[in-house]
Amino acid sequence: MTGLLVADSFLVVDGAVRGLDLHRDRFLGSCAAVGVDAAAFWDQQIRRLPGFGRWFPRFELHDTGQLAVQRRPAPTTGGRVRVAVHEGPDPRTAPRTKGPDLDLLGELKAAAPHRADEILLVDTDGTALEAAYSAIAWWEDETLCFPPSDRPLLPSVTATLLRHIAAAQGVPVAERPRTPADLQSHEVWLLNALHGIRPVQAWNDSPIDPLPNSAADTWQSHLTALARRL
């Protein structure tokens, strides 16, 4: 397997995808940054994706310059989530590009303590950044919050879509630096293209919180409504 320079994945359900233009922009922009024009390849391969069933394709650029697509069946989505906090500095080498650190992040997630489903990375000052395979958002009163965008964050398509939904509904949005300890007193969501929204129901070895008043299902419905045919 050659070195992975860029990757992008998204959920396809019966030929429909949410935020496909954002995924395209992210992938093409990262490829262009290393001197590869992937536009024709992307457009050609998108037309070849199945129009039925559930799929989770991954578009790739390798360090040989080769472009590829893995047409993968979609894993099961949803489920409750336990999050552990990574002890130590952010180990990523290219946090703003999806691809180079995927193997490392997979190893971190697999080794997460407390049988956690995800592991949260923090900045040098302890500010929560994102999880191995997920962006984060949380609620402070009626405000939907995200980590500051000037931090080393992967541009999240799902987070961008949530911002669009919030703007359309008049929900205030803010960027605020918060530590994992701060977040544990708020409703926190993990966000990614496969699952959409997953509310955090346990931190480290704490008991599961069923979150009976969570708004996650409502917002997940808003996300699902954004899916468009390929």
Tell me the mean pLDDT in the region 197-211: 95
- Whole-angstrom CA distances from 214 to 1, 105, 186, 227 are 42, 28, 11, 23
Distance in angstroms between the alpha carbons of the first and the last residue of the chain: 29
Tokens of 174: 């803010």
Q: In angstroms, rounded to a whole number, what is the distance separating the alpha carbons of residues 144 and 156?
A: 15
Q: In angstroms, rounded to a whole number, what is the distance separating the alpha carbons of residues 138 and 190?
A: 9
Query: Length of the chain, please?
Result: 230
For the beta sheet containing 58-62, the strands, ordered from the edge strand earlier in sequence to the opposite edge, are: 4-9, 58-62, 67-70
Tell me the mean pLDDT in the region 198-216: 95
Domains assigned to the chain: 4-70 (3.30.470.10), 81-229 (3.20.10.10)
Q: In angstroms, rounded to a whole number, what is the distance separating the alpha carbons of residues 227 and 15?
A: 9
Task: Report whether 119 contacts 110 (CB < 8 A).
Answer: no
Q: Report pLDDT for 195.
A: 97
- Quote the pTM value: 0.96
Which residues lie closer than 8 Å to 24 by C-beta, 6 or more apart? Answer: 42
List pLDDT tens digits, range 80-89: 899 999 998 9
Sign of the Cα pseudo-torsion (145, 147, 150, 153, in order):
negative
List pLDDT tens digits, range 156-199: 999 999 999 999 999 999 999 999 999 999 999 999 999 999 99
Tokens of 129: 């950044």
Q: Report pLDDT for 78.
A: 85
List pLDDT tens digits, range 40-74: 999 999 999 999 999 999 999 999 999 999 999 99
Q: Report pLDDT for 130.
A: 98
Parallel/antiparallel/unpaired status of strands 173-175 and 143-146? parallel
List pLDDT tens digits, range 103-147: 999 999 999 999 999 999 999 999 999 999 999 999 999 999 999
Tokens of 217: 């299902």
List pLDDT tens digits, range 99-114: 999 999 999 999 999 9
Q: Is a pLDDT exceeding 70 seen at residue 1? A: no
Tell me the mean pLDDT in the region 12-23: 98
Q: In angstroms, rounded to a whole number, what is the distance separating the alpha carbons of residues 179 and 63?
A: 36
